[in-house]
Amino acid sequence: MDPLLATLLCASLALAFASVWQSGPPTIGGAGFGLKQAPDGRVLIDSLAPGGPADLAGLRPGDWLIAVNGLPVASLSGTQLVDAIRGPVGSQLQLVYARGNAQPGQVVVTRAALGVPPGAQPLPFHPAPPHAPPSPGAAPHPLPFHPPAPMQPSAPPPPSALRLLPRTLEDPAAGGRTALHFLVPEGWQAQGHIAWLHELSVLANLRLRLSDPRTGLTVEWLPTMHFAYTNQLPGLAYPGQNWMGALFAPPESDPARFVEGFWAPQALPHLRGRPPVARQDFPRLAQLATAKDPGWQAQTVRLRYTFDPQGQPWEEDVTFTLAYAPMAGGMAMWNVQSATTCRAPRGELDRNAALLEAVLQNAHFTPEWLATYSIVRQLFRQGLAQQMADTAAFGRALQQYNAHIQQLGQQLHEERMHSFDRIAESHREYLAGVETYTNPYTQQGMYLPAGYTEQWMNARGEVILSPSPGFNPNVGDTTHWLKLERRNPMRS
């Protein structure tokens, strides 16, 4: 086993959907487990997808994996192990394992495409018409994004290839700084902005919607918020009131009720009154969300909804984290974070699971914008919310901190370069069909949909993925393309 494997959570890679643009069902699947490497070098089953092939075969967390289809696990690198576990949906996978001090056992599982919550079926939803996000904040407007500087257009990829284009989101309120880098499939549309909420402790929300006008596939970042509640002040605070920078509301432990009460009224009106048909929990992501907050508890969930108001069935997956602070002096503090939703006609979410995950995971706030946010947070804590609410005064205040913002931005950039793999470790189990590659121009990690044999990038940040072995976009193209190297998910 590759010593750099460390804590490889490869369940999602083993559950990969390869054919993200094919019209048929996914062709690549896996066994439905996550793996980690123990200090003694053994590779342990760390988690199981409920109802997945490994779960149904009787495997349990703590079992250690000895061989995959006759290949000793100890002889495989991290990426080789992932590739060995993957295979066509419906094909068989032979696993040799041991439990405790018992003799090794053997099971044969049938690979399945497990990128959706167990029990979910080909599901429905209808595209929501343009709507205003919850107040405060305005409706998304045409995105102030910018492609790289104009260059001679590169040759179009072959029909079976996928091209991903780099985009940036500018934030006029933050001195025109670039706030976000993201990748979108060619032909997709983008709308959005950064909504600054100067009177609330959440301070800013990313309101971004990416959509494919051909298929209806839509990825959207939902509003987040901080909440506070106490029953010690009857008559002095009311639900929905801004109370010390947080919305006054009792903690909600039911994710479905939270969606109904917080997002359905405005951000997701098409879900109003509709219960989810499936739920998937992500305990590792919940642990990550509260890792720096001792005593906090969290739940990270994905809820699947279905509906067909105009006779065409659609589906929607809403993913978010609810985090709760320990009660102190009768005060309850809680929040919603990392909230996104994906919607599409029936079957398209499952068919494009890898692509959607790649789009979500490749969206990153820039260190410069995060530094700006940090300065604004300090101003908020100093009680300057009223001054910050004045756009001109807000801009002048930020100008005073330009040097500090640049210094802090460089520090955040270095921390991001160092921590990418640790973040990938925590997410790997939950990214259906995503592989990790190294950007040859920045040396940063990036996620790409699995199932392609050739991955290339040019200096503009454009990516071409092709299922054709030997495909080389440099042939017949004046643009210089570099072949992407696959990255061990836990390279240090």
Report the share of the chain in percent with pLDDT over 70.
71
**Comparing 176-190, 290-304, 349-363, 397-411, which segment has the lowest mean pLDDT?**
397-411
Q: Compute the distance between CA of residue 139 and CA of residue 74 in angstroms, rounded to an integer.
A: 54
User: Average pLDDT over the chain, rounded to whole?
Assistant: 76
CA distance 492 to 477: 36
The token duo for 100 is: 């405790």
In the prediction, which pLDDT does 484 show? 95
Closest by alpha carbon to 194, among 186, 203, 185, 183? 203
pLDDT for the residue 473: 92
Residue with the two structure tokens 């990038």: 457
pLDDT in tens, 264-278: 988 899 999 999 999
Please say whether the beta carbons of 184 and 93 come within 8 A.
no
Phi-psi region of 409 (alpha: psi -120 to 50; beta: other; left: phi over 0): alpha
Pairing of strands 246-248, 242-243: antiparallel
CA 219 to chain centre: 10
Residue 383 pLDDT greater than 90, yes or no:
no
Angle, CA of 379, 221 and 161, to the nearest 5°: 130
Q: How do beta strands 246-248 and 225-230 pair?
A: parallel
For residue 474, give every residue at least 6 positions away whose Cβ sits within 8 Å of its Cβ, in sequence order, or none: 480, 481
Query: pLDDT digit string (tens) for 231-265?
Result: 776 666 677 788 778 888 899 999 999 999 999 98
- Structure tokens of 25? 């069902």
Q: Mean pLDDT lowest for which of 105-109, 180-184, 397-401?
A: 397-401
Please classify residue 290 by burial: count the beta carbons closer than 10 Å to its beta carbon, then call 0-12 exposed, 13-18 middle and 19+ buried: middle
pLDDT at 252: 93
Res. 6: pLDDT tops 70: no
Q: Give, in degrees to the nearest 5, the angle at Cα 62 between 57 and 64.
A: 75
Q: Point out the least confidently predicted range of 8-17, 160-169, 346-355.
A: 8-17
Dist CA 405 CA 382 (whole Å): 18
Rg (alpha carbons) of the chain, rounded to whole number: 23
Number of neighbouring beta carbons within 10 Å of residue 178? 17
3-state secondary structure the chain: CCHHHCCCCCHHHHCCCCCCCCCCCCCEEECCEEEEECCCCCEEEEEECCCCHHHHCCCCCCCEEEEECCEEHHHCCHHHHHHHHCEECCCEEEEEEECCCCCCEEEEEECECCCCCCCCCCCCCCCCCCCCCCCCCCCCCECCECCCCCCCCCCCCCCCCEEEEEEEEEEHHHCCEEEEEEEEECCCEEEEEEEEECCCCCEEEEEEEEECCCCCCEEEECCCEEEEEECCCCCCCCCCCEECCEEECCCCCCHHHHHHHHHCCCCCHHHCCCCCCEEEECHHHHHHHCCCCCCCEEEEEEEEEEECCCCCCEEEEEEEEEEECCCECCEEEEEEEEEEEEEEECCHHHHCHHHHHHHHHCCEECHHHHHHHHHHHHHHHCCCHHHHHCHHHHHHHHHCCHHHHHHHHHHHHHHHHHHHHHHHHHHHHHCCCEEEEECCCCCCEEEEECCCCEEEEECCCCEEEECCCCCCCCCCCCCCEEECEECCCCCC
pLDDT tens figures, 147-157: 444 444 455 55
Cβ–Cβ < 8 Å for 428, 78: no
The pLDDT of residue 416 is 46
For residue range 204-230, what is the model confidence (pLDDT) as tens digits?
A: 899 999 999 999 999 999 999 999 888
CA distance to 76, 156, 265, 352, 489, per residue, from 164 (Å): 31, 12, 34, 14, 21
CA distance 453 to 83: 12
130-171 tens-digit pLDDT: 333 333 333 434 444 444 444 444 555 555 789 999 999 999
Cα dihedral: 230, 235, 237, 239 (round 10): 90
Task: Give the pairing of strands 105-110 and 92-98.
Answer: antiparallel
Choice among 38-52, 189-203, 460-474 with the minimum mean pLDDT = 38-52
Residue 339 contacts residue 323 (beta carbons within 8 Å): no
Would the pLDDT of 48 be above 60?
yes
Q: Is 175 exposed, middle or buried (0-12, 13-18, 19+ CB in 10 A)?
A: middle
Q: How many residues does the structure list for the chain?
A: 492
